[in-house]
Amino acid sequence: MKLFPFLLFSFIILFNFCSAANVTYDRRSLIIDGQRKLLISAAIHYPRSVPGMWPGLVQTAKEGGVDAIESYVFWNGHELSPGKYNFEGRYDLVKFVKIVQQAGMYMILRIGPFVAAEWNFGGVPVWLHYVPGTVFRSDNEPFKYYMQKFMTFIVNLMKQEKLFASQGGPIILAQVENEYGFYEQFYGEGAKRYVKWAAGMAVSQNIGVPWIMCQQDDAPDPVINTCNSFYCDQFTPNSPNKPKIWTENWPGWFKTFGARDPHRPPEDVAFSVARFFQKGGSVQNYYMYHGGTNFGRTSGGPFITTSYDYEAPIDEYGLPRLPKWGHLKDLHSAIKLCKHALLKSEPTTLSLGPSQEADVYDDGSGVCSAFLANMDDKTDKDVVFRNVSYHLPAWSVSILPDCKNVVFNTAKVGSQASVVEMVPDEFQPSVASPSKGLKALKWDIFVENAGIWGEADFIKNGFVDHINTTKDTTDYLWYTTSIIVGENEEFLRKGSHPVLLIESKGHALHAFVNQELEGSASGNGSHSQFKFENPISLKAGKNEIALLSMTVGLQNAGGLYEWVGAGLTSVKIKGLNNGTIDLSMSNWTYKIGLQGEHLGIYKPDSLNGVNWVSTSEPPKNQPLTWYKVVLDPPSGDEPVGLDMIHMGKGQAWLNGEEIGRYWPIKSSKHEKCIQECDYRGKFFPDKCLTGCGEPTQRWYHVPRYWFKPSGNILVIFEEKGGDPTKITFSKRKTSGLCSLIAEDYPMIDQDSVQKDGSGNGKTRPTVHLKCPQNTSISNVKFASFGNPTGRCGSYSKGNCHDPNSTFVVEKVCLGKNECAIEVAEENFDRGLCPGITKKLAVEAVCS
């Protein structure tokens, strides 16, 4: 009996998604099967997580009120060499799109194939740069040939799997190129021709759904030009027949090694989204909604960190980031409640003050919604709208789905915040390892030669470009030479040191003399170039100089970006009898990559060909060392990070899967960091930086899916020296929850909001706490009904406080997975501090 409704429901869902949908558009919105749509979209890049995580990520987006998933297609992950395609594992695009379909969501596919995206080489395969005569992203025959070939391949794959909406699939929009408008100027006359060609080529693919081009004012019809920015409310498409689409709203920002940590407050993200819909927008996408991880050597930049967390609504590890995720969920519900009015009527804009305005969508038949905005970035304002007074905090929007009741204000965060910790978890020797029975871990070591190993690749007078030489098959290129030091050199007698001077186009360098590491240097996210200047130890006779040049991700954007090189440009030694000698035009011997890479030392099945040396005490502070250790997985099911704070720089693998580059390089202590971020006013990436003097990235995500029950092989290549005995796993745990809500907070009743945008929407201000699955509230650390202040983790009581607060909260919440307490005097001390608007702040512990 119970099965029947379920089957019927499944049938309806299947039917809905298997029947071809007609996707068109006009000025107001996309129209799918005759129905106008307001869409919230979320970028989740499939190769930045693992397939096992995909259903959960998509589901968390859906629960967050998202309608569509957006992703680029990553050409260099798919076409490894001309015509050799890869759709395995993290690159299983069809599987990803089908997961989105199964969740009953739409998909926006940004085929590019240039993507930028802080992804290696902007997503274009490095091999294409070496096809003679190729200039990327221009009216250039080889580029157009390979671009068209790849796009056609992807389109055909999607068609074959019936994934376009026109075939009953989830894909409602496709993108060609990416922000080319920003760079057209670099490509001369041919740029316009290229744009026309790209648009025409895309349209001729006959996918049955519209094409978009982002940041492309001259996108030819019928291709829709869209906006990418922190704010897009003022954007207008290039034709009155195209809808206003925001393809990239950046809810945070990416990080570069050695730099500080950017933060975009949820209040400002919500403000930008509300303003967009207030001003007639109809599709809004968060770039990123889940940023994820740049596994292996996929990050670009250069210098983009392995983490691509992006401070997105879902964190790198797949957990909802609170309160950002919840605040945006509330916002999405509020916008959905306005859907009918927004899509049915034209707005009327009313001025409510010098920087305050209302947009009213009223069709005259009783369906009316309004957005009241205060764009003043300092001052709160009371405004009067339809004879009612409304308090608008600075830089905020209030949403009134019925033109009367406020259900949401972008600056009032009503959803819970969380305290997330990385809890150390010591390495556990594996039961399957030969060390069974021993308490200590067993390590294996393999040490690289500093300089040429095996046969040299070639010898040349002077320098080659690093990237042209490695073709990005590895980060590493050895530049080696030698010098003869005469016995009569003064410095030998004085015991002083000559100085090695190196200049490089980028990105990083370790300098070895006679097998000893003499020093390291690197550029950074803003300047790849750098200089190295270090005293070195030279002896009488022959001295080997071995310089390990490294790339840290290839350039991913900019005009003619594929021509930006890397590697050494000058090497000199100062302080010899003859003054300074210039070695730049000397005889240099080159070796591409490391011996370990050549041996495939990180692959579990090629470990036999390697002369590992076993030890129970792995060496510390030793450069150029490969470490291997066999482990059990950390207990529990929390996401896992590898804590590399005690290591130098290198790469890591688990069971042959590429964790990525690690480099706990610290940002400068002397730069400016903030304690608290003021959400008010225009956001820019440097506005709210934290982490001065701390490693940009300390933990490196190791997906749970990569672990076996035992016998896991962790391989680490350390370039300059670290302490491997101090490496631990860390488990990402939500240990606490917080909420601070005032009696006058508008609150949306999530349960009453229907998918079709109906429901009454408003509820009374309530503190709602929910622990992660299988945990419950074990302790109420702080509770105050009165006028508490502060932030999650540091709330403090004010001069108005109900001493029973903790008791009241404990009674409702202790031992529960979730609980709700209305912020009302009835629940606390009636008549407490009359005349003030009271708040309830709670911090609780989940375990």
Q: Which residues are catalytic?
A: 179, 248
- Give the x-and-dash track for 121-160 against ligand GAL (CB under 6 A): ----------------------------------------
How many alpha carbons fall within 13 Å on the CB side of residue 462?
Answer: 4
Q: How far is the CB of 113 from ligand GAL (least distance, A)?
A: 12
CB 166 within 8 A of CB 190: no
The DSSP output letter for 298 is -
CB 367 within 8 A of CB 340: yes
Nearer to ligand GAL, 249 or 430 (CB): 249
Piece of 112-120, 373-381, 541-549, 700-708 that binds ligand GAL (CB under 6 A) = 112-120
Q: Which residue is nearest to ligand GAL (CB)?
A: 116
CB 599 within 8 A of CB 606: yes
Q: How far is the CB of 116 from ligand GAL (least distance, A)?
A: 3
Cα–Cα distance for residue pair 114/136, rounded to 1 Å: 9
- Neighbouring C-beta atoms of residue 830, cutoff 10 Å: 9
- Neighbouring C-beta atoms of residue 641, cutoff 10 Å: 24
Check binding of 254 to ligand GAL (CB under 6 A): yes
Check binding of 115 to ligand GAL (CB under 6 A): yes
Check binding of 118 to ligand GAL (CB under 6 A): yes
Tokens of 383: 């405004």
Q: How far is the CB of 59 from ligand GAL (least distance, A)?
A: 25
CB 308 within 8 A of CB 48: yes
Interface with ligand GAL (CB under 6 A), residue from 43, 50, 97, 117: 117
Check binding of 425 to ligand GAL (CB under 6 A): no
CB 181 within 8 A of CB 218: yes
- Give the x-and-dash track for 221-250 against ligand GAL (CB under 6 A): -------x-------------------x--
- Give the x-and-dash track for 475-494 against ligand GAL (CB under 6 A): --------------------
Piece of 114-122, 336-344, 675-683, 775-783 that binds ligand GAL (CB under 6 A) = 114-122
Nearer to ligand GAL, 179 or 643 (CB): 179
Check binding of 311 to ligand GAL (CB under 6 A): no
How many residues comprise the chain? 847
Tokens of 331: 């916002």
Nearest to 656 by CA among 710, 601, 593: 601
Alpha helices in 161-289 (DSSP H): 190-203, 266-278
Q: How far is the CB of 695 from ligand GAL (least distance, A)?
A: 21
- Give the x-and-dash track for 671-710 against ligand GAL (CB under 6 A): ----------------------------------------
Interface with ligand GAL (CB under 6 A), residue from 107, 116, 274, 331: 116
Total interface residues for ligand GAL by CB under 6 A: 9
Q: Which residue has the tokens 């689409």?
A: 245
Tokens of 6: 């379920």
Piece of 115-123, 204-212, 346-354, 522-530 that binds ligand GAL (CB under 6 A) = 115-123
CB 846 within 8 A of CB 737: yes
Q: How far apart are the first and last CA of the chain?
A: 39
Nearer to ligand GAL, 41 or 415 (CB): 41
Phi–psi pair at 273, nearest 5 degrees: -70, -45
Tokens of 837: 């608007």
Piece of 58-66, 116-124, 274-282, 677-685 that binds ligand GAL (CB under 6 A) = 116-124
Nearer to ligand GAL, 227 or 274 (CB): 227
Check binding of 739 to ligand GAL (CB under 6 A): no
Angle at 157 between CA 152 and CA 159, to 5 degrees: 95
SS3 172: strand
For ligand GAL, the binding residues in 153-182 under the rule CB under 6 A are 178-179
Piece of 11-19, 109-117, 455-463, 765-773 that binds ligand GAL (CB under 6 A) = 109-117
Q: How far is the CB of 228 from ligand GAL (least distance, A)?
A: 5
Tokens of 233: 């409310």
Cα–Cα distance for residue pair 394/374, rounded to 1 Å: 6
Nearer to ligand GAL, 118 or 843 (CB): 118
Tokens of 259: 């730099």
Nearer to ligand GAL, 227 or 342 (CB): 227
Tokens of 684: 């820019």
Q: How far is the CB of 281 from ligand GAL (least distance, A)?
A: 18
Phi–psi pair at 608, nearest 5 degrees: -70, -30
CB 823 within 8 A of CB 812: no
Q: How far is the CB of 288 from ligand GAL (least distance, A)?
A: 8
Q: How far is the CB of 259 from ligand GAL (least distance, A)?
A: 14
Q: How far is the CB of 73 from ligand GAL (least distance, A)?
A: 12
Q: What is the dihedral of CA 824, 828, 829, 835, to 10 degrees?
A: -20
Query: Site residues (CB under 6 A) for ligand GAL?
Result: 115-118, 178-179, 228, 248, 254
